[in-house]
Amino acid sequence: MVIHVFMSHTKLDSEFCDRFDIASARVGVRVFRSEFETIKPPAWKTIKKQIGKSSAMFLLVGKKLVKAQAMSGESKKYRDEWKHTQNWIAYEVGLACQKGIDVWVACDKLALNFPVPYLNNYVWSMGKYGEKGQRGIGFIRWVLEEYSKGEEFALGWSNRNTKCTHKSCGAEFNLHTPIRPGVSIVCPTCCQRIAFPEGWLLDEK
């Protein structure tokens, strides 16, 4: 049986998306990537259908997406791009949450600068180590291979669940990237900093 996953992204981050596509192809996972598919209007019907048959959704946060959000208040070009992308992300995340599939946020060596209302798996920097010492896209390849074997990454997987310490947020997710003691990262839901005084996953080298 072919495993399907859904890629949520902006087509401007094509290099990051291409790396994900290569990783999925190597393990035989079918990825839905909207700009390479034939979508008849209205697009939401196709999106809903594809998420409905997917085992997981991956929101890929690349440099162009972060830039579009950062520049949205200063440039009509970026404002239009950000508004379009933001609306689709919200729709896709909402569908994935409703279906109950894993929702991943994977950042390409940068800090997230917009809130994601729901997720259960977070790779805060693709440049850091992941499972079994694999860097970046190697970890994602491993994750996709596990999906092809029937694995799921529900909240609490391998004791990696953590919780945002800000009372106004309280988001919970599996955090898959090692963090040195004292380093803080951006919460993917509220975008406030979360500190790790004792570090995180430091046994993975």
- Which domains does the chain show, CATH number per domain? 3-196 (3.40.50.10140)
pLDDT of residue 135: 64
pLDDT of residue 134: 55
pLDDT of residue 38: 66
pLDDT of residue 133: 46
- For residues 178 and 57, which has the higher predicted lDDT (pLDDT)? 57
Q: Determine the average pLDDT of the residues in 71-86.
A: 92
In this model, does residue 2 exceed pLDDT 60?
Answer: yes
How long a stretch of residues is the chain?
205
Q: Left if phi > 0, otherwise alpha if psi is -120 to 50, otherwise beta: which for 158?
A: left
Biggest alpha carbon distance in the chain? 51
Tell me the per-residue pLDDT of 98-154, one tens digit each, with 9 for 90 and over. 999 999 999 998 899 999 999 999 998 876 544 444 567 889 999 999 999 999 999
Binned at pLDDT 50, 70 and 90, residue 173 comes out as: very high
Asked which of 31-45, 160-174, 185-199 is least confident by mean pLDDT, the reply is: 31-45
Instruction: Give which of 58, 57, 5, 52 is closest to 28, Cα–Cα.
Output: 5
Cα 12 from Cα 51, distance rounded (Å): 21
Tell me the per-residue pLDDT of 20-55, one tens digit each, with 9 for 90 and over. 989 898 899 999 987 756 678 899 999 999 999 999
Pairing of strands 161-163, 172-175: antiparallel
- Asked if 29 contacts 150 with a C-beta cutoff of 8 angstroms, the reply is no
pLDDT of residue 204: 61
pLDDT of residue 66: 94
pLDDT of residue 202: 78
3-state secondary structure (DSSP) of residue 109: coil
Which residues does 179 contact at the CB level (< 8 Å), separation at least 6?
185, 196, 199, 200, 201, 202
Q: How far is CA 60 from CA 63, 88, 89, 111, 196, in A?
A: 10, 13, 10, 12, 24
Would the pTM count as exceeding 0.85? yes
